Amino acid sequence: MYIYIPLEVLQLLLFPKELLSIPIKCRLVALRLSDEIVNEHRRKAKKKDKSQGKQLTAKEIELLAFNIIITNANEDMPSSEAVCDLYRARWQIELVFKACKSYLNIDKLGNCGLYQLECLIYGRLTAI
């Protein structure tokens, strides 16, 4: 379910006042989450803040009800649904890279040539 929220309202909710004077050409897509997911997000956030001795503000609690994506794609490019689908796919790719860095120690390869890099990656992949 998508709802319309005026950009001015979202700007005030999301950005510090000092950033509001900087013009940024972007598109904001806000997806209202289901009540079940919202309640889960709020429960986890409250638990985390309580463990850190903090308390969520009303603004933060309200923002937990949305998936908010800021993109530089024009309004006539992908639909809001497509933007959300593309973001989910992008997130999966990010998780693959994170796994490679963590489990294959790719971030610790150092400076090496292209062929050495290929051999190291293939070697580590076959070792899994």
Is residue 3 pLDDT above 60, yes or no? no
φ, ψ of residue 100 to 5 degrees: the values are -60, -45
Within 13 Å and on the Cβ side, how many CA atoms surround 128?
12
- The domain segmentation of the chain, as residue ranges, is 1-74, 78-128
pTM more than 0.75: no
**Kindly report the CA angle at 43 between 8 and 27, in degrees rounded to 5?**
25
The mean predicted confidence, pLDDT, of the chain is 79
Residues 55-73, mean pLDDT to the nearest whole number:
85
Q: Higher pLDDT residue, 112 or 106?
A: 112
Phi and psi for 25 in degrees, rounded to 5?
-85, 105
Q: Phi and psi (nearest 5°) for 68?
A: -115, 125
pLDDT digits (tens, 9 = 90+) for 13-32: 666 666 556 666 778 888 88
Q: Which helix (H) or strand (E) element contains residue 125? A: helix 114-126
Buried b (16+ CB within 10 A) or exposed e, 56-76: beeeeeebbbbeebeeeeeee
